[in-house]
Amino acid sequence: MKNWLRKDASAAMMFLVPSGVGFSLFYLIPFIMGVVYSLMDSTVGGHFVGLDNYRELLSSSSFRKAASNTMFFSAVSVPLMLVLSLGMALLLNQNIYLRKWLRTAYVLPLVVPVASIVFIWQILFDWNGSLNAWLSHFGVSRVDWMKTDAARVVVIVVYLWKNIGYNVILLLAGLQQIPKDYYETAKVEGAGRFRQFRSITMVYLTSTLFFVVIMSIINSFKVFRETYLIAGDYPHDSIYMMQHYMNNMFLSLDVQKLTAASVLMFGCILLIVLGLFLLERRHRRYME
Query: For the domain that residue 149 is a member of, what is the CATH number?
Result: 1.10.3720.10
| pLDDT, tens only, 5-29 | 556 667 777 788 888 898 888 888 9
| pLDDT, tens only, 148-159 | 888 888 889 888
| pLDDT, tens only, 203-215 | 888 888 888 998 8
Rg value, the chain, Cα: 24
DSSP symbol at 201: I
- The whole-angstrom separation of Cα 192 and Cα 186 is 8
The answer, yes or no, to whether residue 1 has pLDDT greater than 60, is: no
Most confident of 61-75, 107-121, 191-205: 61-75
Q: Is residue 218 part of a domain?
A: yes
> In the chain, how many domains are there?
1
Q: Is the dihedral of CA 3, 9, 12, 17 positive or negative?
A: negative
What pLDDT score was predicted for residue 77? 92
Domain residue limits at 245: 61-287
Residue 268 burial (C-beta neighbours within 10 Å; 0-12, 13-18, 19+): middle
Q: Is residue 22 part of a domain?
A: no
SS3 271: helix
- The whole-angstrom separation of Cα 247 and Cα 263 is 14
Q: Is residue 99 part of a domain?
A: yes
* Cα separation values, 149 from 156, 158, 195, Å: 12, 15, 40
Residue 52 burial (C-beta neighbours within 10 Å; 0-12, 13-18, 19+): middle
Q: Is residue 258 part of a domain?
A: yes
- The whole-angstrom separation of Cα 207 and Cα 201 is 11
Q: Is residue 80 part of a domain?
A: yes
The answer, yes or no, to whether residue 82 has pLDDT greater than 60, is: yes
SS3 40: strand
Inter-residue contact 209 to 171 (CB < 8 Å): yes
Report the candidate in 127, 124, 280, 139 with the shortest Cα–Cα distance to residue 206.
Answer: 280
Q: Is residue 207 part of a domain?
A: yes
Q: Is residue 282 part of a domain?
A: yes
- The whole-angstrom separation of Cα 109 and Cα 85 is 14
What pLDDT score was predicted for residue 154? 87
Q: Is residue 140 part of a domain?
A: yes
State pTM to two decimals.
Answer: 0.82
- The whole-angstrom separation of Cα 11 and Cα 110 is 35
The answer, yes or no, to whether residue 138 has pLDDT greater than 60, is: yes
The answer, yes or no, to whether residue 287 has pLDDT greater than 70, is: no
- pLDDT, mean of residues 217-244: 82
| pLDDT, tens only, 157-184 | 888 888 888 888 889 888 888 888 888 8
